Structure 1
Amino acid sequence: MPHQFTPQEIADLEAVLSAPRFATYLRETDGDRHGAMELYCWNTNVSSAFYVLLQFCELAVRNAAVEAVEKEFGENWHLNRGFAYSLKNPTKRNAYNPRNDLTQCAKRLPTAGKVVAELKFAFWQHLFVTAHDPRLWDQHFADVFPGHDTTLTIAQARAQIYQDLDVLRRLRNRIAHHEPIFARDLDDDQNRARRLISWRRPRTAAWLDTFETVTPTLRSRP
């Protein structure tokens, strides 16, 4: 439903957001300040709607990965040196280092469960690279993702997860930093998140369909 904003309300929002941030919405609406306000409200609503979907998506993939790693390296996988050394260890400055992330968490946290909760989202994405196929995914992918597309090879399905996580991680970061997401292909983002949940547990994806609010919010874009 369209809102009615007073000029003062719009000016106040611009002051809260900052002129450069509000200008992003003004450009999209060709300088229409009321339209920019409507778009900002919608962007906030769709970001909120995506939060639930992304939460289930991250949990689904993370817990599937943990299950696979436990099958191969045992319940104390976070202390297993063989597993740690199988992780990438880039030396490039500012590059994410999954090996360092794991070892630092394992040093200061008492249990695998605590480590899981502290590892960055990027850590789980980095498990879905080709290097982990022989020992991890070739053996355990079908068990932990029973709903995956069986027309794909395991390597293709694992690569699809990596690609989906890369796209969704960027969406997640934009939402977390209160950035606009209206210019993204949000239908594609939604489909990627749902696919990952469905590959983990199809019935959970069907259950989420009954109450997620991304779909109606996308349809209500001003």
Structure 2
Amino acid sequence: MGQQKISSEQLLIARFSPARMAPYVAAAGSPREAIKLYRWNVEASAVLYEALHVFEVVLRNAIHEQMALWHRAEGRTGSWLTNPPAQLTARSKDDLAKARGRAQETLTKKHQLAGGASAPALTDGDIIAQLTLGFWRFMLATRYTHDLWRDAIRYAFPQLTHQRLSDIESPVIRLHWLRNRIAHLEPVFTRNLLLDLKDMRTAIGYVCPRTQAWFASTRTQSIKDVINAFPLEGLPGPKQATGTP
């Protein structure tokens, strides 16, 4: 029996899966326009991920630097990553243990491939590379306001004038949510991407204005370009969308 001929757009929707494409079809109104929106979403996600890369690296290095200084000032042995303070939650300690395990496995495999007899000792950098943005987001949880924030983490954000944890926690929560959306290949067209850009600039600026200036000069235009390339008329679009949590 012959097969019914379907359009290229219908074929793509079948390949991407109707369930995944349902939000795009609902927003765009037709398979053709849905594919345009999906393509834009892929491009926007790529541009945002580049910017999130900078934000995440700056955030985690700033927190790590101050935690390391506090750890040494407290006279504690080793590193705070291998000898975590009691103030950390059980979840954070478990995340650290898993990160150390993954780091050791990665280091061992690299060393074996290079023909070495035994792997060198783990560094803090090896462990940090295995920690997710979620770990650093929870380092800014309000439960730490009266100990780790007061004694260590707040110094990671010298430009945070009033030293309120919520001022840095709120944008980081929103950006963690954005990163998860992108990592799981979910739609971002319902978000106000200008607000996402503002959150990244704000968080980086609390750490270092000069780094913020570099970030703005290298990432702002690419995000604005993808916003201006939004393919559909009649939708709020990423300048006015209200889906940012």
TM over 0.5: yes
Per-residue CA deviation, residues 46-69 of structure 1 (Å, 9 max, x unaligned), is: 111101110111111101110110
1:123 paired with 2:124, answer no
Task: Give the match for residue 93 of structure 1.
Answer: none
Task: Give the match for residue 75 of structure 2.
Answer: none
Alignment partner of 2:70 out of 69, 72, 78: 72
Task: Give the match for residue 60 of structure 1.
Answer: 58
Q: Give the alignment of 1:91-170 within 5 angstroms.
A: 97-106=91-100, 109=104, 110-141=122-153, 143-148=155-160, 150=161, 153-154=162-163, 156=164, 158-170=165-177
Distance in 1 separating the partners of 2:204 and 2:57: 9
- 1:104 to 1:175, Cα distance in 2 relative to 1, 3 A: closer
Task: Give the match for residue 16 of structure 1.
Answer: 15
Q: Which has the higher helix share?
A: 1
Task: Give the match for residue 180 of structure 1.
Answer: 187
Classify the secondary structure of the residue corresponding to 1:78.
coil
Q: Which amino acid aligns with 2:64?
A: V
Q: Could you tell me the TM-score, scaled by structure 2's length? A: 0.74
Maintained 8 Å contact 1:29/1:35: yes
- 1:88 to 1:142, Cα distance in 2 relative to 1, 3 A: closer
1:221 paired with 2:230, answer yes
- 1:56 to 1:211, Cα distance in 2 relative to 1, 3 A: same
Q: Considering only CA atoms, is the larger Rg found in Structure 1 or Structure 2?
A: 2
Q: Which amino acid aligns with 2:193?
A: L
Classify the secondary structure of the residue corresponding to 2:187.
coil
Distance in 1 separating the partners of 2:22 and 2:81: 46
Q: Which amino acid aligns with 1:163?
A: S
Report how many aligned residue pairs link the two structures.
201
Maintained 8 Å contact 2:205/2:212: yes
- 1:104 to 1:25, Cα distance in 2 relative to 1, 3 A: closer
Q: State the 1:138 CA deviation.
A: 2.7
Classify the secondary structure of the residue corresponding to 1:79.
coil
Per-residue CA deviation, residues 123-143 of structure 1 (Å, 9 max, x unaligned), is: 111111234334433344564
Q: Could you tell me the TM-score, scaled by structure 1's length? A: 0.81
Per-residue CA deviation, residues 77-123 of structure 1 (Å, 9 max, x unaligned), is: 12325x1x21112xxxxxxx112111343467422221111122211
Alignment partner of 1:190 out of 184, 197, 218: 197
Per-residue CA deviation, residues 142-174 of structure 1 (Å, 9 max, x unaligned), is: 6432333x1xx21x2x22222222111111111
Pairwise CA RMSD: 2.1
Q: Which amino acid aligns with 1:136?
A: L
Q: Which amino acid aligns with 1:13?
A: L
Q: State the 1:40 CA deviation.
A: 0.9
Maintained 8 Å contact 1:174/1:181: yes
Classify the secondary structure of the residue corresponding to 2:81.
helix
Maintained 8 Å contact 1:72/1:136: no
Distance in 2 separating the partners of 1:140 and 1:186: 32
Mind listing any 5+ residue stretches in structure 1 that lack a counterpart? 1-6, 90-96
